């Protein structure tokens, strides 16, 4: 056995054992960690909704705002990102697509369209939890 081979076996003894493939298979069976930072984001904070006054106006992404669509404004998430928004009061959740920037009110983490806000029972401003939805 060469010196380099001995150093590898000493440095990585788990790889040299006969049960290593079984250990790797057991690790693969466990749920894996999210692969990207975007997939690990979970935020809690205040949400609000906006609607009538902005109907038909252009959003930051360039599309026209539709208060009846399931969309939202977020300060940093990329446009087109699907986000699950769960009300911490009602327990109801909705999946929305980020198509605008905001909210611009202090202490809020997301602005929902009127339709999305009503689906989770949001009345004005309320506590929510958001997380990106993984594309399959």
Per-residue pLDDT tens over the stretch 3-18: 444 444 344 444 443 4
Per-residue pLDDT tens over the stretch 118-135: 999 998 899 999 999 876
Contact present, 115 and 85 (Cβ < 8 Å): no
Distances (CA, A) of 81 to 38, 56, 88: 10, 21, 21
Taking every pair of C-alpha atoms in the chain, what is the biggest distance, in angstroms? Answer: 77
- Catalogue all structural domains in the chain, each as residue range(s) with its CATH number: 1-32 (no CATH), 37-132 (2.40.40.10)
How far apart CA 126 and CA 130 sit, in angstroms, is 13
Q: What is the pLDDT of residue 38?
A: 52
Q: Is the pLDDT of residue 54 over 80?
A: yes
Q: Give the whole-number percent of the chain exceeding pLDDT 70.
A: 68
Q: What is the pLDDT of residue 8?
A: 40
Per-residue pLDDT tens over the stretch 86-118: 999 999 999 999 999 999 888 899 999 999 999
Question: Can you read off the two tokens belonging to residue 114?
Answer: 């009127």
């Amino acid at each position: 056995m060469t010196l380099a081979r001995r150093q590898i076996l000493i440095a990585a003894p788990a790889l040299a054992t006969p049960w290593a493939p079984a250990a790797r298979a057991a690790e693969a069976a466990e749920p894996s960690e999210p692969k990207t930072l975007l997939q690990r984001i979970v935020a809690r904070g205040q949400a609000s909704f906006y609607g009538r006054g902005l109907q038909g106006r252009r959003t930051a992404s360039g599309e026209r705002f539709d208060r009846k669509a399931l969309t939202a404004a977020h300060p940093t998430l990329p446009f087109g990102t699907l986000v699950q928004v769960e009300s911490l009061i009602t327990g109801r959740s909705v999946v929305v697509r980020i198509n605008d920037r905001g909210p611009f009110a202090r202490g809020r983490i997301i602005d929902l369209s009127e339709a999305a806000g009503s689906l989770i029972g949001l009345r004005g401003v309320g506590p929510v939890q958001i997380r990106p939805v993984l594309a399959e």
